[in-house]
Amino acid sequence: MSVIFECEYKGRRYAGLDLPADGAFHELYAVREGQLRDALVAGSGPADVAKALRAGGEVLSVAVGDRELRFLPPLLPTSTNNSLINGFMGTHRSKFDRAPEPDEAFAAPNYYIKGFGSWLRMPDEPLVTPADPLWLLEEPEVVLVYVNDDEGIPHYAGYTFGNDLNDIGLHLEKPWAWTPYAKLCETSIAPWLFLEDPPAAVSGRVVIEREGATAWEGAFSCGADSIFQRFGDMTQYLFSYPALRRPGLVNYLFMGADKATYHDGFRIEDGDRMVIDVTSHGVSLPNVVRFGPKAPPAVRFGPQAASVTASALP
């Protein structure tokens, strides 16, 4: 499998090849922001991308556990925030009572926009939720990464894996209205971009740890073979909307999740550590859940604030 990643080290941006091994040293190649995006949009294959990196400038050998090494979401545009987290719901065959017909007409699944790419969190970073979620649900998913060129044409770059943590309890109270609120939990993503077609078969396990012990464990699948719809139909339909074809936009498309802790009656609590182990691809995505603070009252400003202040005076 061909894998690339980007990271920051001592204030500079670097790229690497292949999956780093824990505790080992890994070669990093200095890159400018957007260099990998430009190469992939230009149609460079994995071998061309690797050759371009090795022919560049500074090369470092850095320990994977170095405290100054910070991995980045794949192809994240840090200077412009021109990126979007969005995805599909109810896509897995396990949530249907039948198998799709071979030539069945495409019906678009439910869709959501979760936030900017800068909201993505890396492995081992905490995921913050609202202060009082009803019932949290982890969601291990395939994430397809697309980059729009200067003409607004989407280019498929590769895939990675993510955890679309959300409040399924809130969603179920009013599925037709409250789903956008339910999605307002932070999301994690693996930094490794697999430069291949979307995967047919992905398998792994979710482990929820509480106070250092395993509190829940279960298997999952999230590849194309597990999906009721077809990946190509889903992305083609989505990119029929011009708003998602803005030049330079990076789209992180979460392709839906299998049944997990909620469907087994398990409740994720503040401080629990979720570990998504994508065993089929050698990727681990651990994150601790943190309930956020209560929201303070909004600050008013301008003429309204002045009038409110004046009326409050004795």
Gap between the Cα atoms of 173 and 218, Å rounded: 25
Residue 48 phi, psi (nearest 5): -70, -40
Contacts of 56 (CB under 8 A, 6+ apart): 29, 30, 31
Gap between the Cα atoms of 5 and 75, Å rounded: 8
> Tens place of pLDDT for every residue, the chain, 314 residues?
699 999 999 999 999 999 998 889 999 999 999 999 999 999 878 888 888 888 777 899 999 999 999 999 999 999 898 999 999 999 999 888 888 888 889 999 999 999 999 999 999 999 999 999 999 999 999 999 999 999 999 999 999 999 999 999 999 999 888 999 999 999 999 999 999 999 999 999 999 999 999 999 999 999 999 999 999 999 999 999 999 999 999 999 999 999 899 999 999 999 999 999 999 999 999 999 999 999 888 888 776 655 544 444 44
pTM of this structure = 0.93
- Three-class SS state of 6: strand
**Cα separations in angstroms, 100 against 89, 94, 197, 222, 223:** 17, 12, 22, 16, 16
* Number of other residues whose CB lies within 10 A of the CB of residue 314: 2
Q: Where are the beta strands (DSSP E) in the chain?
A: 3-9, 12-17, 25-30, 59-63, 69-71, 83-89, 110-116, 127-129, 136-137, 140-148, 154-163, 166-167, 188-189, 193-194, 203-210, 213-221, 250-254, 273-278, 283-291
Gap between the Cα atoms of 161 and 276, Å rounded: 9
Domains and CATH numbers, the chain: 3-70 (no CATH), 75-291 (3.90.850.10)
Nearest to 162 by CA among 181, 183, 148: 183
